[in-house]
Amino acid sequence: MTATHAATGASRLTLYGQEVSSRLLLGTALYPSPAVMEEAIRASGAEIVTVSLRRESAGGRAGDAFWRIIRSLGLKVLPNTAGCRSVKEAVTTAELARELFDTPWIKLEVVGDDETLQPDVIGLVEAAKILLDDGFEVFPYCTEDLTVATRLVEAGCRVVMPWGAPIGSGQGLMNRHGLRTLRARFPDVTLIVDAGLGAPSHAAEAMELGYDGVLLNTAVAKADDPIAMARGFALAIEGGRLAHEAGLMPPRDFATPSTPVVGTPFWHAAG
């Protein structure tokens, strides 16, 4: 039994009409070996993995090993445009990825800053419109900016993926208020926190906010034990989703006894 199937209370995730059981999307870079990557994916229960066109187009034995793992695990591939710094480059990369991976899915990234890898949100919206018009099913990687998310949804994106923090930083949810606002504003849009998560508790927090899923890579791939960390994230995501669906108690500014005292007998020693 995989981590994502340990409990059955959490609902399934729908992405452009396709359903999956796991709400964890896992990256495939930075692992110490293909074998470790395979075992980490198994431990995570993930059914969708992201992959860079640039890595796979290089081919060779590493590429062959990747595709063997994909086939053996029956995974769905979400190609990405990682490293693209212009609209033209991102669109061209997406077109090549559609041919290579035989999928209309594309994780759209347009880098705007080399130091933080923050998305170029203006270029992102422009590229998303071009790709959506060309039949792609776009998963845009953006910031938690409400206006940008609105533009992406208006363009036709049915999935939006705001960052928790800069890629690979492990800082968790830097702007919890902003992420909560996005969730409230777009109740019918699939929202996935993508990037910046460093601990399973960060993923659980995102799910408790009502997010539909989490996409991560570095926190698992670079852990001392990627396999154990992958399972830890899977359990945290499932727990956070179940808690959200069950209904979290609101925080209070005062104490409330868990055991009521009304009607409780008080015994007094005889004097």
Q: 107 catalytic, yes or no?
A: yes
Query: Tokens at residue 58, please?
Result: 């290089």
Q: What span, in angstroms and rounded, lies between the C-alpha atoms of 161 and 108?
A: 10
217 annotated to bind ligand: yes
CA of residue 119 relative to chain centroid, distance: 16
Q: What span, in angstroms and rounded, lies between the C-alpha atoms of 85 and 75?
A: 28
Q: Which residues have a Cβ under 8 Å from the Cβ of 76 and sit 6 or more positions away?
A: 18, 20, 47, 48, 49, 103, 105
Decide: helix, strand or coil at residue 162. Answer: strand
45 annotated to bind ligand: no
196 annotated to bind ligand: yes
175 annotated to bind ligand: no
CA dihedral for 224, 202, 16, 244, sign (positive or negative): positive
Q: What span, in angstroms and rounded, lies between the C-alpha atoms of 197 and 161?
A: 13
**Nearest of 116, 122, 210 to residue 163 by alpha carbon:** 116
Query: Tokens at residue 204, please?
Result: 């659980």
Using alpha carbons only, what angle is made at residue 196 by residues 91 and 230, rounded to the nearest 5 degrees? 100
256 annotated to bind ligand: no
- Cβ atoms within 10 Å of 243's Cβ, excluding its own: 15
From 76, 107, 129, 222, active-site residue:
107
Query: Tokens at residue 250, please?
Result: 């609101």
Which residues carry a binding-site annotation for 1-deoxy-D-xylulose 5-phosphate? 168, 195-196, 217-218
Catalytic residues: 107
